[in-house]
Structure 1
Amino acid sequence: MSSSAAPAAPSAIPSEVFEPPVLAEVVRSGFVEGHHRGSLVVLAADGSVELALGDPAAPVFPRSANKPMQAAAVLRAGLDLAGERLALAAASHSGEAFHLELVHTMLAEHGLTADDLRTPPDLPLDPAEAEAYLAAGRVRERITMNCSGKHAAMLAACALNGWDRAGYLDPAHPLQQLVHQVVEEAAGETVTAVGTDGCGAPLMAISLVGLARAFRGFVLAEPGTAERRVADAMRAHPAYVAGTRRPDTWLMRELPGTLSKMGAEAVQAVALADGRALAFKVDDGATRALGPVLARTLRLLGIDAPVVDRIGHAPLLGGAGEVGEIRATF
């Protein structure tokens, strides 16, 4: 009788595997059917860490939450933007008519057209705007992509400085090198990875602590600096940063002095006028958890306002009615 080979030993399994905490749970008809895990940090007014959940020191791609820093970079490159134009340079706009009109204007002011944009053709970010856009028989366009304001500002900075416009998204481009520098200075840490964002622009990875620190720094920066100019423009014109039906707009409009910006894959950063700041990321990228997690964090900071309730309301539907909710668990 031949002997068979002994089975291979199972791979070693670490006795302790880090698992981020549950930040929000999905409750349907009284039954918890899912969880959203992630990491979160809250900075006190003096910049110290007041609350940390998960691993907020680990690097993440902030996605569009990096846009205030990208907008500050185009100002440092010499581009003179202010008001709605500067807010749109830091925007993930909804694709509403006033957004698209201003992007066209910004491009034309520097001898550029929508054909110069290197954003991928897309529909408006706002679902209602997308439906109306399609109903009008229109197709995906570069200018409709939610990052077109940022790209228009980047192209304008290139035109001003005589930099290559066709390759403005190359990480080695002078403008993107300046963005890299601004991100590191604002976050107070080294960029640990460079990727490509959904719009095609280089994307710098920093920690959630660094992201919160950057937003805090923008709010507290000296008037007239690039950082403060971006923060002031975003807070003065929040509808250009997001849209008329977006939580960032509601928060900046209804809590004076607040700077707020979300990013894809469920990233959110906020700084209050007194220097307190927060940043978090939901690991599975579910943006439906953003509102409940943000609202709970703001309440922990003592913010009690109708806008917090509005942002935190995330109902689950069953048929034509509400049968549950997504709710924060910390």
Structure 2
Amino acid sequence: MTAPAPFAEIWRGPFLESVHSGHAVICDSTGQIIEAWGDPTTVVLPRSSSKMIQALPLVRSGAADAFGLTTKQLALACASHQGAHIHVDNVGAWIKELGLTDDDLCCGPEESRDRTMRDGQIRAHESPCRIHNNCSGKHAGFLTLTRHLGAGPNYVAPDHLVQKACLEAFEDVTQETSPGFGIDGCSAPNYAATLHGIARAMAHYAAAPEGSAEARLHQAMRLHPELVAGEGRACTELMRACDGKVALKTGAEGFFIAIIPERGIGIALKAACGTTRAAEAALAALLVRLGVLDANHPATLKRINAPIRNWDGLTTGVLKPAAGLLA
């Protein structure tokens, strides 16, 4: 097994204080590796970076069209959102259209990650609901597919028709037989593959023809970056910085993917330490390397060559991408 490659460096003054390492793969439209760092064969759990794959049966089955889902709803089905009003209100309207309530969501209640929403709930002595969960859009998609299939309510069970469809889609686009799954933070199975398999899947999305389920999903993400994550988040800011030409999705424990339709390219990366800042720095560096992200864009400079400040506002260090990722 190849060791992880350097991803990001933390400098404090003249001292290299720490180094984050990981694995990254860039695939072309045929699924072949263009470039790789670390070990492309390492088996990974893509976590929320696989949400557009989990949403694939929603579109392929005809459920999205049968229920008249909009591009906003498709974007939310792929989202790890902040739980801001823009997210909660849209998901709430969606499940209401299904004749369902917050209790029908299996993702569990989560405190909103949006300060305005969270502080408002605290002042009103309100408890967070399932709809505030960052995965509630994905689960609204699961519920829609459940209704379309006439299946039972426990849609997160691995043997449920919805999850069987998700596994079939996952193995189809990764072109691998999954070795198994872990249970994600939202209670749904999260299937494992090699990092090459996930990058291959993202390249498959990038090369998908107009009108296909894959194209509809990445187009929805690129149309509505504010719904995929939220203000201040890397997915939203970097998609805007790429002028809507790239679909991006983070995942827990240092995962990140990119879909670049104009180039037919897919990227998957995993920070070995599971650190978000390492994954964001590596992803931004690779987008700059590929020429789809301006190295001097403010959203880029928050992730690479970003100043580290202390509580008094003094710049005490810098987060730099590893040199091997940029050139």
Q: Is TM-score (shorter-chain normalized) higher than 0.5? A: yes
Partner of 1:241: 228
Partner of 1:26: 10
Partner of 2:72: 84
Distance in structure 1 (CA, Å) of the matches to 2:179 and 2:212: 26
Q: Larger Cα Rg: Structure 1 or Structure 2?
A: 1
Within the candidate set 288, 292, 297, 1:299 is matched to 288
- Per the alignment, do residues 181 and 45 of structure 1 end up closer, same or farther by CA in structure 2, a change over 3 Å counting? closer
On the 8 A contact 2:254/2:276 being kept in 1, the answer is yes
Within the candidate set 187, 202, 222, 2:209 is matched to 222
On the 8 A contact 1:82/1:229 being kept in 2, the answer is no
- Per the alignment, do residues 308 and 112 of structure 1 end up closer, same or farther by CA in structure 2, a change over 3 Å counting? same
On the 8 A contact 1:124/1:145 being kept in 2, the answer is yes
Partner of 2:315: 322
Partner of 1:7: none
On the 8 A contact 1:44/1:277 being kept in 2, the answer is yes
Partner of 2:270: 281
Partner of 2:24: 40
**Unpaired runs of at least 5, structure 2:** none
Distance in structure 2 (CA, Å) of the matches to 1:44 and 1:298: 15
TM superposition shift of 1:128: 6.3
Partner of 1:98: 86
Q: Which moved more, 1:36-45 or 1:106-115?
A: 36-45
On the 8 A contact 2:3/2:39 being kept in 1, the answer is no
Within the candidate set 168, 175, 179, 2:155 is matched to 168
Distance in structure 2 (CA, Å) of the matches to 1:35 and 1:201: 33
Q: What are the Cα deviations for residues 172-202 of structure 1, in whole angstroms up to 9, with x where unaligned?
A: 1011000001011111211122110011001
1:119 matched to 2:107: yes
Q: Which amino acid letter does the alignment assign opposite residue 288 of structure 1?
A: R
SS of residue matched to 1:143 = helix
Q: What are the Cα deviations for residues 90-129 of structure 1, in whole angstroms up to 9, with x where unaligned?
A: 1000111010001111101111111111112111234665
TM superposition shift of 1:311: 3.8
Q: Which amino acid letter does the alignment assign opposite residue 150 of structure 2?
A: G
Distance in structure 2 (CA, Å) of the matches to 1:109 and 1:233: 20
On the 8 A contact 2:29/2:206 being kept in 1, the answer is no
TM superposition shift of 1:22: 2.3
Q: Which amino acid letter does the alignment assign opposite residue 312 of structure 1?
A: I
SS of residue matched to 1:39 = strand
Distance in structure 1 (CA, Å) of the matches to 2:34 and 2:232: 31
On the 8 A contact 2:29/2:207 being kept in 1, the answer is no
- Per the alignment, do residues 309 and 52 of structure 1 end up closer, same or farther by CA in structure 2, a change over 3 Å counting? same
Q: Which amino acid letter does the alignment assign opposite residue 91 of structure 1?
A: A
Q: Which amino acid letter does the alignment assign opposite residue 170 of structure 2?
A: V
TM superposition shift of 1:212: 1.5
Alignment identity in percent? 35
Distance in structure 2 (CA, Å) of the matches to 1:136 and 1:263: 32
On the 8 A contact 1:56/1:280 being kept in 2, the answer is no
SS of residue matched to 1:183 = helix
Q: Which amino acid letter does the alignment assign opposite residue 299 of structure 1?
A: V
Distance in structure 2 (CA, Å) of the matches to 1:199 and 1:182: 19
**Unpaired runs of at least 5, structure 1:** 1-16
Q: Which moved more, 1:71-80 or 1:201-210?
A: 71-80
On the 8 A contact 1:94/1:129 being kept in 2, the answer is no
TM-score (norm 2): 0.89
On the 8 A contact 1:294/1:312 being kept in 2, the answer is no
Partner of 1:4: none
1:186 matched to 2:138: no
Distance in structure 2 (CA, Å) of the matches to 1:78 and 1:169: 20
SS of residue matched to 2:100 = coil
On the 8 A contact 2:63/2:144 being kept in 1, the answer is yes
